[in-house]
Chains A and B, each alone.
Chain A
Amino acid sequence: MNGFLQGVVDALALGSLYAIFALGIALIFSVLKMINFAHSELVTIGAFVLILLADVPLIIRILILVVVVVGAAVLMERVAFRPVRGAGQTTMLITSFAVSYLLQNAAILIFGPDLRSGSVWSVLNESFMLGPVRILNLNALTIVLTLVLLVALTLFLRKTSIGLQMRAAAEDFTTARLVGVKANRIIAVAFGISGLLAAIASFLLTAQTGVVTNTIGVQVVLMAFVATILGGMGSLSGAVIGAFVLGAVSVILQQLLPLELRPFRDAFLFAAVFVVLVVRPGGLIVTRASRARV
């Protein structure tokens, strides 16, 4: 029973981390119909900020983190994605892949190929007991932050004017434009929010690993992609559900797989995703925008 509860907490924590990544990707997808590969590099940038500035007081570091990553996200949109906005989905996808690759290697060019380590906030690596279950502070923070983010994002999309415009744009950009939604502004704001999500993600990820490499974001973002596909492209709630499903399945596989098969966990995971997509080709949640007419 305790093992089970422990597993539930682990799954929630992992799912939460995936969810923060997946939300950033799903948000951009919903307005731009583009999968942003370079989301992982936003996370990497954040990780570099945190580790390189390890001596700066935490609060200031977090401020710098947010400013830098949000700035990078907005800049990325302006420089790389806006020029190809009219050029079709494949072009945008390749562009984001190229930006990702470019930044990954720019990190090597600037910081060298060596791994750098540093502590983000040592308190997070301690743990406390909740009844019979031992919970890492970091995991608790991850879960709580995710909940807060979900509530905040929902309120933003439902209650604020720009949030409503964003939802209209996600449904049908052409019509949204006709009623006065400003594409550039909406997209820039979406990137800003995805930058914020990436900043938070990089904080949680770096606190966990304590090191940064030029590909730190890639592994988790791959998972987040899978989560967004699983959830149904373009649906924010789908992305979150997909992320938690993925987190749960990872933890279950990790516990149930025999030792000699554990290295193959990711292979099994991706195979499972494949199966889901066969049964529900559109993902778990099919949005109105993902359907079209003849």
Chain B
Amino acid sequence: MTAPTTVAAPAQTDAEPELLLEAQAIGVSFDGVHALDDVSIGIRSHEVFGLIGPNGAGKTTLMNVLSGFQRPTRGRTLVNGADATRWGPEKTVRHGVSRTFQAVRPFPALTVAQNVELGALGVGTRRRVAAERVDYILEALHLSHRRDDFAGKLPHGEERRLGIARALASEPQVLLLDEPAAGANEAESDELVASLRAIKAEFSCSLVVIEHDMRLIMSICERIHVLDYGRSIAEGTPAEIQANPAVREAYLGQVAEAGAGES
């Protein structure tokens, strides 16, 4: 039953061929409240794509849509040009779109190695192949020393890295990361930037990163998309985004506020 992880041949239709993952005019509403309204993004191969916006802007909801967890009320999603709107997460990840969670959601009573192995087993990878992948990925995310520990016992930073490792084990083309640096201090966040760059190079996949940590976003993203109240307000290079007055007004101001409140 477990389908091989072949990737659907790109259907050369109206879609732009080089886009691995697309959201087209997505709308999502919960009990009449619009969490997303007419949002479109396209992920190119080998790029790091940032998704930012204030709390409640709809970033996670968009990620849920892209990963098949949330069926949009309007619009459609494409994976390699194929319509993926009705796929569900199980099929989406088999077609090369993998994700992490804002709350990490590890398998606490399983070991770190088992967690990562499951990332491969889940999409139907053979046991032997999966086991080899585990060593490699644990190494890449500096988790080798934790191999046989229960995932539920990891400190916060390592837990987040485990989330990334598990998502990476399916060898995705696009890796969706929901706030990978949440709770990290400056040094950890720098380390994460290095890891993400290494992942992008070694696993040759695209990254979609949701983050509130602007330093991280600005330093690794090639393009950034900004959401506010469920709507797209800007998209561009880090420099363009930083210079964009609408973004400054809607977003950066609020971050400053929130930052002031926290400290």
Q: Do chains A and B touch in the complex (CB under 8 A)?
A: yes
Residues of chain A having any CB pair with chain B under 8 Å: 294
Residues in B with CB closer than 8 Å to A294 are 60, 64, 69-70, 101
B interface majority secondary structure: loop
Q: How many B residues face the partner with a CB closer than 8 A?
A: 5
A285 CB, nearest partner CB in chain B, Å: 15
B80 CB, nearest partner CB in chain A, Å: 24
A196 CB, nearest partner CB in chain B, Å: 34
Residues in A with CB closer than 8 Å to B64 are 294
B159 CB, nearest partner CB in chain A, Å: 18
A3 CB, nearest partner CB in chain B, Å: 46
In the complex formed, the residue of A with least CB distance to B105 is: A294
B69-96, CB < 8 A from A: 69-70
A114 CB, nearest partner CB in chain B, Å: 48
Residues of chain B having any CB pair with chain A under 8 Å: 60, 64, 69-70, 101
A interface majority secondary structure: loop
Tally A-B pairs: CB < 8 A.
Answer: 5
Residues in A with CB closer than 8 Å to B70 are 294
Complex: how many Å from CA A173 to CA B195? 39
A170 CB, nearest partner CB in chain B, Å: 17
B213 CB, nearest partner CB in chain A, Å: 22
B13 CB, nearest partner CB in chain A, Å: 30
Complex: how many Å from CA A120 to CA B64? 59
Complex: how many Å from CA A294 to CA B178? 12
Residues in A with CB closer than 8 Å to B60 are 294
Residues in A with CB closer than 8 Å to B101 are 294
B55 CB, nearest partner CB in chain A, Å: 14
Complex: how many Å from CA A262 to CA B101? 53
Complex: how many Å from CA A6 to CA B217? 73
B56 CB, nearest partner CB in chain A, Å: 12
B35 CB, nearest partner CB in chain A, Å: 10
List 5 tightest A-B contacts by C-beta distance, closest first: A294-B69, A294-B64, A294-B101, A294-B60, A294-B70
A288 CB, nearest partner CB in chain B, Å: 8
Complex: how many Å from CA A294 to CA B100? 11
A175 CB, nearest partner CB in chain B, Å: 15
Complex: how many Å from CA A294 to CA B60? 9
5 A-B pairs in the complex with CB atoms less than 8 angstroms apart: A294-B60, A294-B64, A294-B69, A294-B70, A294-B101
In the complex formed, the residue of B with least CB distance to A288 is: B31
Complex: how many Å from CA A155 to CA B220? 58
A86 CB, nearest partner CB in chain B, Å: 16
A190 CB, nearest partner CB in chain B, Å: 26
Complex: how many Å from CA A287 to CA B191? 44
Residues in A with CB closer than 8 Å to B69 are 294
Complex: how many Å from CA A140 to CA B255? 65
Complex: how many Å from CA A294 to CA B70? 9
Complex: how many Å from CA A40 to CA B69? 40
In the complex formed, the residue of A with least CB distance to B63 is: A294
Complex: how many Å from CA A118 to CA B128? 71
